[in-house]
Structure 1
């Protein structure tokens, strides 16, 4: 007896059902991956409430929150200078208020802290004027950020008309060494993520006259107020000490509001 393999419409329907089941399974897996990613991205490292409240109640600075950013404006002696500051990956934008409030007041610089798409700077494709429009009286703009936010800022500086860059525990991944950008890099001696070796290793991507300031005892999370970050070093400098060092570095870089 000769065995004959099933064929014809019944076999084709069976194959079609298998293909459909496989496609459904693939789509379900992809949907689960997307959902898990969105949940992960939305779970930010929250800013510490006492530090944020201290900035909000500082009578030297006005703070406004918008859908895309938080704007810190000096009340007295405002200059025509502004900084668009990009948070680190999954860090609450409000976590940077206290670290920047003294510098805003003492240098007269308006600071716009962005609220990145999905809390990750690399997913944010909005142009710089999305944020600068909140401070129409500012003529000279710098761009900067913390950690991944600083990397994104360097990319933006290569494509946008800005005066310079400001890094908090960060560095460039693209080459701007031939530009005339004014650059300030503030780092921490105990940073376990943007380590001193990484900062030094990327220094050649910046202009030769870039200014480097290393804060002794600061770690990666010292540049904001959001608690402990996995993989980071242990900070020995207090939040107030780091805040003072950041302010001093920015005053030296930009000058005081009375100058």
Structure 2
């Protein structure tokens, strides 16, 4: 990098200030106008990486997955409307890319999905990164692929495991239209606020989860205010909500359902819930019961 000539003849402290200014105003990547294909069939879906400013000096990376054509250019709804969206918060020490299978499946169904990164893949380290992802969807950079793509009134937030704890904090602070727990439940510190949640919620649990144990998930789901629904997936373990259940297998927590089948059912349930919740039709509990291998409890 070349220094401006005017600084070459100034006191060294000016160089320090100039360098500090550069560090504090680090340039984000240019906002993408198209993405790269995540999958091309049966419905093309693309992904793109955005960087948004957070906490004045930080750059937060957000992976965005969206319906596209076969060139990675975003598709628009045929009726001229905008797509609903989901902010998906990663579980502890699980990379956001390990949820691209779910983001891609939802995008193929007409959703835009934003997956914010967190330092050390630990979402509690930067809870408001999910909020920055939401703001990216509602106020995207001018000329970017997101401009005019998302309906700001139809954005849900979801999280897996520890990410669900963070997602519930974001939902409790307002600005989202629905909440999804994936093998998770609210922070006990938020117990007094949970009754005021005021939006549809889905708690999706694995019957054989060895981390978010089913009795605890059931108990916490019973405290969520209506409209809420608990869905237990038979034979499913904790890491089957991610790209691989190897961590379950290695710890002796053996699923009874194949990973591909678990993924199909998880995506179908999340999609059906969001279809109902983001159109003012509650939780869609009756349609959730149609998915095989489920136990559905509605409140």
Give me the TM-score of the superposition, normalised by structure 2: 0.62
Q: Tell me what 1:220 maps to.
A: 238
CA distance in 1, matches of 2:197, 2:184: 19
Q: How does 1:1-259 map to 2 (within 5 A)?
A: 55-58=38-41, 59-67=43-51, 68-75=61-68, 76=75, 78=77, 79-106=82-109, 108-126=110-128, 128-136=130-138, 137-139=150-152, 140-173=154-187, 174-175=190-191, 176-229=194-247, 233-255=253-275
Query: How many residues end up aligned between the 2 structures?
Result: 204
Structure having the larger proportion of residues in strand: 2
Stretches of structure 2 that go unaligned for 5 or more consecutive residues are 1-35, 52-60, 69-74, 139-149, 280-299
Query: What do residues 95-152 of structure 1 show as CA deviations (whole Å, max 9, x unaligned)?
Result: 111133222212x121111111221111114354411243343312211110000011
Please state how far the C-alpha of 1:237 moved relative to its aligned partner: 1.0
Query: What do residues 32-72 of structure 1 show as CA deviations (whole Å, max 9, x unaligned)?
Result: xxxxxxxxxxxxxxxxxxxxx99445552121123422111
Give the RMSD, CA atoms, in angstroms: 2.5
Tell me, yes or no, if the aligned pair for 1:56 and 1:63 is still in contact at 8 Å: no
Greater RCO between the two (CA within 8 Å, min separation 6)? 1
Please state how far the C-alpha of 1:181 moved relative to its aligned partner: 1.1
